[in-house]
Amino acid sequence: MRLIVSIKGNNSDFEAYKLVVLAVRNGITPWETYSYNYGIIWAVILFILDFISFHNSYVFRILIILVLASADLYIATVIANKFGHKYGVLFFLNPISILITGYYNQFDNLGLAIGLCAIMNLNQFSNRNNLKTIILLTLSLMTKHNLILFLPWIFLNTKLKTVRYKITFIPAILFSLHFTPFMLISSDVFRAIYSNVFMYWSANNAPFWQFWFRDKQLVNYLGDNAQWHHGRIWMTLFFLSVTIVGIWSRKKSIISSFFLYCIVFVLFSSAITTQFYTIGAIGAAAFFNRFFLLYFAFATLWIFGDPTGLDIEIFSNLFLDLSLHGWNSLPFFLFPGILWMIFNKVKSTTYKKR
């Protein structure tokens, strides 16, 4: 199905991937395209897939989708084994996962799948075989650093006290340092990496946090990148809130914490775009209750009408008539399911009691 939906076309992400490959082929770093905001691993994967496809765009895209679908399948398998088979099927076959992988070709789930593999290893061998965990966590961050805020959760987890320093600090340090050889190439590369990775703040829309401010001028000021705070107010609130939840969940199993993190990461995010839907879907599928259906339904409808996605007119008009925007409304459709988790405390405290 992921390959079938790709027939519909593609958005700017796939064009950016082709630009990255073209740059690398010509000895230019991916960051100098100014459309690449991640560690080096995804660029290497793209280069290899382009080489295997003999520079054919159609084959190149099929290979990308197959790699991303493999990541989806791994995450679904873990969910099935730890929470129940129907929840694994729900994640793999829900329209969000299919469309984000098949149409958008976004690779958030690849980085998360590698990180989940590290967490599975850590859970099984908490006091030994740490090298594998460290390598996988580092590769996850170098692919896409969505788990950078999960490192404090690992550090704070009461069941990992004996290994927490090396499991958290080494991947973080290696992730930061792996940019250094590239930054030393030239001042142009240095500036490209600095602006595209370390100073990048994406949409900076922070829907959860902006909701609490009625003064729209203040909201615009707090998110203004030209001000002294560089629009980092929302990001600071994001970091603090995610860490607070990490402190609260420090006694939970590290696997359960991983799936909870996927929900919290989206809820409090300082910048939400369409690919975040699939991150939330990971946690919503694992801790599924009937109220999370609102999230799956809303996200699916938005992807159908998203101007940067399928852009189906009937759905685009629906959101215009309702004065809703998918990016800004997304966290609030997670709320009913989260409240159910809080008040029932069934799946949020253990990952397999069925």
**Domain locations in the chain as residue ranges:** 2-344
Tokens read off for 128:
């030994």
pLDDT tens track, the chain, 354 positions: 888 988 888 888 999 999 999 999 999 999 999 999 999 999 999 999 999 999 999 999 999 999 999 999 999 999 999 999 999 999 999 999 999 999 999 999 999 999 999 999 998 876 677 899 999 999 999 999 999 999 999 999 998 888 899 999 999 999 999 999 999 999 999 999 999 998 887 777 888 888 887 677 777 777 776 666 666 888 889 999 999 999 999 999 999 999 999 999 999 998 888 889 999 999 999 999 999 999 999 999 998 988 877 888 898 888 887 777 778 888 888 988 998 988 776 444 444 444
Strand extents, DSSP E, the chain: none
Query: What's the confidence (pLDDT) of residue 271?
Result: 86
CA distance 24 to 77: 34
pTM here is: 0.91
SS (H, E, C) 218-267: HHHHHCCCCCCCCCCHHHHHHHHHHHHHHHHCCCCCHHHHHHHHHHHHHH
Closest among 273, 338, 320, 321 to 299, alpha carbons compared: 273
Residue 353 phi/psi, 5-degree rounding, is -125, 15
**Torsions phi, psi of 40, nearest 5?**
-80, -20
- Is 28 strand, coil or helix? coil
Dihedral sign from CA coordinates of 91, 142, 265, 125: positive
Q: What angle do CA 2, 101, 315 make, to 5 degrees?
A: 85
Q: Read out DSSP for 168-201?
A: HHHHHHHHHHTTHHHHTT-HHHHHHHIIIIIT--
- What pLDDT, on a 0 to 100 scale, did the predictor assign at position 353? 45
Tell me the helices (H) and strands (E) count for the chain, helix number first: 21, 0
Rounded to 10 deg, the angle between the 276-286 and 292-305 helix axes is: 160
Q: Of the candidates 192, 211, 202, which has an alpha carbon nearest to the alpha carbon of residue 231?
A: 202
pLDDT at 228: 65
- The tokens describing 258, both together, are 């991983």
Phi then psi dihedrals of residue 161, to 5 deg: -60, -35
289 CB neighbour count, 10 Å cutoff: 16
What pLDDT does 61 receive? 96
Q: Which amino acid is at 242?
A: V
